[in-house]
């Protein structure tokens, strides 16, 4: 039996929101439904980067 998979979340690092929008919209044909940002504190904890 083959189970169907549902993608719930995808995260991709990018240089600018415009670059990310072009990639997802123009190349993949996906529609942007919302955006979020990660706080500076969490970015530093997870990735060692001090920026939002």
Kind and range of the H or E element at 44? helix 40-47
pLDDT at 25: 94
Element containing residue 19 per DSSP (H, E):
helix 17-21
| One pLDDT digit (tens) per residue for the chain, 52 residues | 888 988 887 777 778 889 988 998 999 999 989 888 889 998 888 888 888 8
The Cα–Cα gap between 32 and 52 comes to 20
């Amino acid at each position: 039996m083959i189970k169907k998979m549902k993608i719930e979340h995808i995260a991709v690092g990018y240089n600018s929101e415009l670059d990310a929008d072009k990639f997802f919209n123009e190349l993949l044909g996906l529609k942007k439904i919302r955006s979020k940002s990660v706080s500076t504190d969490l970015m530093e904890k997870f990735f060692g980067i001090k920026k939002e």
